[in-house]
Amino acid sequence: MPAENWTSTSWQEKHAAQAIVYPDEAKLESVLAKLKTLPPLVTPSEIERLRHQLAQVQRNEAFLLHAGDCAESFDACTHQNITAKIGLILSFSLILIWGARVPIVRIGRIAGQYAKPRSSPTEKIDGREIMSFRGDNVNGLHPDDRTPDPSRLLSAYWHSTATLNYVRGLLTSGFASLNSPRDWSLSHVRSSSLRKEFTEITSGLASALDFTRTIGLASGLEAVSYERGGTRGVLGEVDFYTSHEGLMLPYETALTRELPIPCATTPSIPVSRSASRSVSRTRMPSDEPQYTEPSRAHYNTSAHFLWIGDRTRQLDGAHVEYFRGIRNPIGVKVGPSMKGDELVTLLETINPDREDGRVTLITRYGADKIDAHLPEHILAVQASGHPVIWVCDPMHGNTQTTPAGIKTRHFGTIISELTSCLRIHAEQTSRLGGVSLEFTGEVDEQGFSVTECLGGSMELAEEELGLRYQSFCDPRLNFEQSLDVAFLVSNYFKN
Ligand code: PEP
Ligand code: MN
């Protein structure tokens, strides 16, 4: 059902946390007018397919992997980076499929994840108080380039388009089947018992994939993918969806379009072209052709999935108002400041019809806080009867700063929150439906991974953080550390 008293601009009556004030409003208006005319990046049928698959995650028939950069940058929009990112997501999901024996729904933080919320609107650099960097679609990282420039929104659209186009190209050219577990070097794993364990998993996985190829299935990944050897996926050989935080409401609105809900999923009402005919009349083969009036809905066509950040989820705020009216499946970040009854009111607001697959709760408390909050949140949601997917983001509550002033996260702390999350869900007869991670497969010219998070099987030390720290936002797990997480989660489900 369409949201009551909602328009794609009704959010403008509410307070928008983290809103950007543009000095040149006329330029902003002309950029938004242009964006409104540009083609959608994703289609309603792709969005509906994701809704359907998320409903399956909710019913424990699939597992969700949500992953990618904290923030994309325009400069990092290169074929190497995109290939590395997609490659890592595919490798990670293969390991999960192996352990959990369920299909994986893959949503990348990609093709639009540019805007960033900030704890402080300004920061001090070289004695100057300047506006904080708010992401490439707002201002520049360089201290002299911090004035918000509306043309960056158009640039964001073009970079999203280029990224998505390349991803579609990769996934329709056999890339997924090239990602073989045999190619994963495990030489970084310093502990020999862990290396033995990982090797057992990869060889089991490789044999299973060889088997599916031998019996004639085109791609091993496709065979164990969403459709289990069935039809092609959303962006090619496998299903892959895009997402970003829906932070910049003017941009999101410009790409929100009222479109027909694709027939296959629409419980549409048959309407005769002849006004005198009763709409409830049973259609007979000899009848004149019936015209089926499709239902229409507001789709955000900039990404398949959007989420509300922990800093912009105020019940009476502009973001919640915008999100309640769009048809896309949506995420909500849930941190330690969320109260149980507030969470239920939020669910009532964004999913009053209690539609399956509509809401994903992405919890991010911190390893030392999860026990104090998650049980209460699960109980409140269970008592309300709201259908949700629970996803663990073990990254955002566990950011720390080293004595040298480097923002990092420790692999052990990330695993600790993830493990607690799995345990708490089991204790509460709930179930974890997925993970949300910040990771990257990016490497430097010599092929070395980034060094932004501590620990993992490569035992990355504090003094090594400076070697290849490339994130200008939150620290990401590198390729090796990400596979460590995949092996751990995979093992959990296998045992
Ligand atoms: C993020 O996902 O990058 C982020 C800013 O998260 P949160 O809103 O949970 O802090
Ligand atoms: Mn982040």
The answer to whether the beta carbons of residues 95 and 103 sit under 8 Å apart is no
- Rounded Cα distance, 274 and 294, in Å: 17
- Rounded Cα distance, 44 and 146, in Å: 36
**From first to last of its 495 residues, what are the pLDDT tens digits of the chain?**
789 999 999 999 999 999 999 999 999 999 999 999 999 999 999 999 999 999 999 999 999 999 999 999 999 999 999 998 998 998 899 889 888 888 999 999 999 999 999 999 999 999 999 999 999 999 999 999 999 999 999 999 999 999 999 999 998 887 876 666 766 677 777 777 777 877 888 888 788 777 776 776 544 444 444 443 344 566 656 889 999 999 999 999 999 999 999 975 444 344 433 333 333 334 444 555 566 666 999 999 999 999 999 999 999 999 999 999 999 999 999 999 999 999 999 999 999 999 999 999 999 999 999 999 999 999 999 999 999 999 999 999 999 999 989 999 999 999 999 999 999 999 999 999 999 999 998 888 888 889 999 999 888 998 989 889 988 889 999 989 999 999 899 888 887
DSSP string, 452-493: -SBBTTTTB-GGGTTTT---SSS--B-HHHHHHHHHHHHHHH
Instruction: Tell me whether 0.90 is exceeded by the ipTM.
Output: yes
Expressed in angstroms and rounded, the spacing between residue 223 Cα and the centre of ligand 1 is 34
- Rounded Cα distance, 76 and 114, in Å: 11
Expressed in angstroms and rounded, the spacing between residue 309 Cα and the centre of ligand 1 is 6
Expressed in angstroms and rounded, the spacing between residue 180 Cα and the centre of ligand 1 is 32
Is residue 128 packed enough to be buried (19+ CB in 10 Å), middle (13-18) or exposed (0-12)? exposed
pTM metric for this prediction: 0.89
395 lines ligand 1 (CB under 6 A): no
Among 109, 244, 311, 407, which residue has the most ligand 1 atoms within 8 Å of its CB, making it the best to mutate?
311
* Residue 282 CA: distances (Å) to CA of 149, 270, 272, 295: 57, 9, 11, 20
Per DSSP bridges, beta strands 330-334 and 305-308 are parallel
Burial 236-255, CB ≥16 within 10 A → b, else e:
bbbbbbbbbbbbbbbbbbbb
